[in-house]
Amino acid sequence: MAMRIIFMGTPDYAAPSLEALHATGHEIVAVYSQPPRPAGRRGLEVLPSPVHRAAEALGIPVFTPKSLKNDDEQQAFRALDADAAVVVAYGLILPKAILDAPRLGAWNGHASLLPRWRGAAPIQRAIMAGDTQTGVMIMKMDEGLDTGAVALTETVEITPTMTTGELHDCLADVTAQLMVEAMARLQTEGLPVTPQSEDGVTYAAKISKAETRVDFTLAAQQVHDHVRGLAPAPGAWFELKTDDRAERIKLLATGEVDEASSGAAPGTVLDGKLTIACGTGTLRLLSLQKAGGKPLHAEDFLRGTPISAGTVIG
């Protein structure tokens, strides 16, 4: 017998989980998502979230409250008479009244190996920190920030060149598969949970605009991890000074990290292939993008924007 599930999610990361649960035959009685946001360069178009659009395509009613703290919203939630709530990257804090409403609790799919990288940006932070593995955990939610007891775990390797975009897509699929398994177990045999460890807690704060600028005084490996952790969005960037003006260049990929010191000042272009000196070691810039332009391989970029050896960027 299918369970009655309320699904709560917002970005494209969460859409595969909604679609997978629907495909297995569960009754998704409602979807909760963040309200539609302004979109486009001028913000003149208001678009529903990816999960909102996916729910509409499946014929599922969608609710987009700005908050779940008031009594009316909580009563409406309880009235749905759900067996379980499934939460994947929803973006709102769930009060205790919401967590307690479903008969079997609220279950979250989180993209890290908790307690490492609790919070909003676990995928980006794992790559930016140089982690070699991450994963997905299904936890029973409590009132803390990603502090709930864990039911299921799947570990995923982070390869040396993997970007946030690539890891995002991989973990979205893993989350969907693991959540389907979790709901099947919850329905038939119950889903035992284990409290999280108190050791190794880290927090994945949202990415700020200030930290997207590349700091070439860091070690080459750190710069490489920073760039791939921000690719493709929001994108790391540096300034290139030409003709007495500074142009912002988005940096989408780097490679050929060498730990040997070049002896040059950080940010110095060392050759015609965009090898750059860092605080320690060197690395090559592989993919770049000007404002309003398309991403270009370094060779193609240099044809339109020559950068001579000795130039300092940063």
Q: Which residues are annotated as a binding site for (6S)-5,6,7,8-tetrahydrofolate?
A: 112-115
Q: Distance (Å, rounded) from C-alpha 125 to C-alpha 117?
A: 7
**In a 3-state reduction of DSSP, which class is residue 132?**
coil
- Burial of residue 244 (number of CB atoms within 10 Å: 0-12, 13-18, 19+): exposed
- Burial of residue 283 (number of CB atoms within 10 Å: 0-12, 13-18, 19+): buried
Q: Distance (Å, rounded) from C-alpha 236 to C-alpha 214?
A: 6
Task: Give φ, ψ of 262 to 5 degrees.
Answer: -90, -20
Which value, in Å, is the radius of gyration of the alpha carbons in the chain?
A: 22
- Smallest Cα–Cα separation from 140: which of 73, 196, 215, 184? 196
Name the binding residues: 112-115
